[in-house]
Chains A and B, each alone.
Chain A
């Protein structure tokens, strides 16, 4: 039953894909077939009257070309898609990792201590809703380095979901399990690592998964802003070149990488998941 549902879902997905791409391609060729130029167009020298969204066939062609040699580097404005994605992934992972190093211990503290929770809550509530990009000018001013500034922006946007989920998970650890630690005379360190951490791990990892999703959303915008390298810069650069094929191709790559990042965290979550 489930098997057949899965099989049927794959079939429907494929049909939807083929139909969409087919219609897209068709709409393009039909308008291209309509080659009879108007008077005006002739006067304009027969240039393309309007920038048309390129057809899927072109995008697939470009993808094949780009992906066959993703890591070439021919100067600042001509790097392979792999290199650009690599820069972005590096920034996301660095900012995210630093955020985890701060958020998880701090979340532990907040989750364990009602006092710290109450004391830090106002700050969290004010800082959390700030768009991470709003930090960019301040970061650029203080850090004076665009690379570090975009990592800082990633750091600041990934910290909140991890912090809040860690605090929530730690505070929600069942009292029985804490009592097990107490009756076994575990040291606070051992209690934290052997009881509270595994108990809160699924919640913490859910926070990390949300964080990495947000970080990947933000890095594109951040790189558009600061420029230089990265997939966000690449998209903006291709837009400036009016190379829509490349724009669409990189949009798809952004989606693909985002999905892979999410899947990695989802797998990790499954690894620490337990059933009560």
Chain B
């Protein structure tokens, strides 16, 4: 168990190392950092002075080491566009993205799993067929389209929900939350649905097909032959056996949710990291872009690690103590 965790940790560190290398290369070689920082009329000597000051003339490995050291201290450089430290910018934007992603994932899970179980247990009912067709739409429709449709219906036509922004936020220490105000919560609804729709459809279809599969297994037939109630068979035996793939996919999807929040955030002008990233791209704001890259990779790595550990909690076959007396 410990060995496994350590191995995974080392792998994760390796992944992060390469991502940092990529981010650094972007930083260093994509465009000229100096050109982004100074005006047209800055003299060549002035530019050269800046270059030395920023250490851009040092050997590349030294620059990389300096970069990594900075990242570890939480120093990601200064935004070309805004002229403020990137870590400050991120810290301001992170709560918005994380809250949105959290609510979207929760929505996808809480709606997706029951819908998947229902359509798996009763494949022939009309509601199952409706849900399945809808889920196809959820997968096929592009996110921005869902967002725009929602805005059109609930924002513009019905005027029920705000169409952009986070509403009022409450600051608790460094964190700014939209959970504590009515307007904050109302503002969350449409972006969260937009962002979670694809995952909802995916989880529902996954649970459904896993459920259908598990219901055909011998141990379910045997559980019925033992006279267990339907509830015990479906929820005690079948559902639990669908959990391993569901955990995997959900875990990976949470990473994607955070990453793909970019689109939803642009549609709803949600003041999160995604929006920051989009604006950074338009200005070739390399420090912000590379920081975003590192952060997203970091989320993916942490989530993957968590998923692997969850397997252990769910599936006894993976736990180490071997079969005494087994063959």
**A and B physically associate:** no
A residues at B contact (CB < 8 Å): none
